[in-house]
Amino acid sequence: MRPPRRDGRRDRPPIRPDTDQSVRARVWQNQVVVQTFGTVFPDDLAQIELGLSTIGQWRALGLDLPNGARFEAVTDLSQQQTGANNYLQSLLLTVPLLAGLGALAAWFLSAQALKPLENLIGTAKRVAESGNLSERVVHGTGQGELERLSRTFNQMLERLAGFREREISFTRTAAHELRTPLTAMQAQLDAQANGWSSQDEALETARNQVERMTKLSEALLILAREGRTEMLEFDLGKMAFELAEKRGAAYIGSNHYVLNGNPVLLERALENLLENASKHAPNSQVTVQLETREHELRLSVTDSGKGMSATSLSRATEAFYRAPGTRAYGSGLGLAVVDSIAKAHGGQLLLEAAEPQGLRASLCLGLVQQ
């Protein structure tokens, strides 16, 4: 028995060829086998070359020993090859099966996850092909971002449908309004050609109708801007004072107030408010006021006429709207244009009853600069 090592660990016993039945060894000397180890050495193996080599199913080792002897050892690789083949066959069977199951599971999960997206794509395709804006994406078929996308898409369709309805109504009414002065001019020209009216009368009618068409066209162009306008720095107080003085209206406020806005459009808005007051409240007292309220600029026109009903106040900014019983001449676009100009400046047109009577129309602007 070997003595223990100084570090306290025992050396592993040497591996002997006869302890492993899969290893077969022999010793040659003078071309004669003088000793064998393990099971019978394969008869089909001649003398083995020096070093490691593979001969058929055998892994061989040849070593030279002292006194001209040679040591040879072989081990059978067939069992290892069989095990490797079995393992390879198992892989060939299980890997495709697992891959197929994984692909099937992925397809099922992705189909469920992408179903809302397919629904959205289908709805968008139907809208693009048919132009039917009443189509909607079904809610509740998705989660998270897809659900939000579906709701946003439906909101977009609702807004587009509203735009289309307003466009159709606006175009129909605008065509009618443009046709009216053309018809009047045509009738007057026919009357003059038949001798029923003088040339001066025909020219006066044509001039009035052309002026009406010009104002109508300008109003339509302002409404078509949809809030797109160029902003410049100008003196709104001076403009309001001069217009009020020109129209014979009283003025309250500063004569100089520098604002960043569009002077042409704001002048048109104030003129429309003054014209509206003179048409619907003739011979009444009209006041123009420029004031600031809680960081908001208000340019107001107040009259002492009969005022408007609550229903008319809620619809007065609609294009071509005329209050019931209105006999005043006009296109019905004046207040709609003012409201569009106010929105282009980040504000709105506010209509309210004046005290003790009348109407107060305020151009409320969200951008104030002085």
pLDDT > 90 in the chain, percent? 9
Q: pLDDT band for position 328 (50/70/90)?
A: low
Q: pLDDT band for position 210 (50/70/90)?
A: confident
- Can you list the alpha helix ranges (DSSP code H) found in the chain? 78-130, 145-193, 199-224, 236-247, 263-280, 310-315, 334-344
Label the pairing between strands 286-293 and 296-303.
Answer: antiparallel
Q: Is the peptide bond before 96 cis (omega within 30 degrees of 0)?
A: no
Task: Write down the pLDDT at residue 98.
Answer: 84
Q: pLDDT band for position 241 (50/70/90)?
A: very high
SS3 letters across 197-222: CCHHHHHHHHHHHHHHHHHHHHHHHH
How many C-beta atoms surround the C-beta of residue 290 within 10 A? 23
Name the residue type at position 262. Answer: N
Task: Flag the least confident range among 5-19, 73-87, 262-276, 345-359.
Answer: 5-19
Task: Write down the pLDDT at residue 251.
Answer: 94
Task: Write down the pLDDT at residue 161.
Answer: 83
Which residue's entry shows tokens 């959205």?
120
Nearest Cα neighbor of 302 from 276, 333, 332 is: 276
Name the residue type at position 156. Answer: M
Please give the biggest Cα pair distance in the chain: 151
User: How does pLDDT run across 125-142, given as a tens digit for each residue?
Assistant: 888 888 787 888 776 555
Residue extents of the structural domains in the chain: 17-76, 232-365
* The CATH number fitting domain 232-365, selected from 3.30.1370.60, 3.90.180.10, 3.60.110.10, 3.30.565.10: 3.30.565.10
| Distance in angstroms (rounded) separating the CA atoms of residues 338 and 354 | 19
Q: pLDDT band for position 11 (50/70/90)?
A: very low
Looking at mean pLDDT, say which of 6-20, 35-49, 88-102, 176-190 comes out highest. 88-102
Task: Flag the least confident range among 62-66, 155-159, 202-206, 211-215.
Answer: 211-215
Whether 273 contacts 287, CB under 8 Å: no
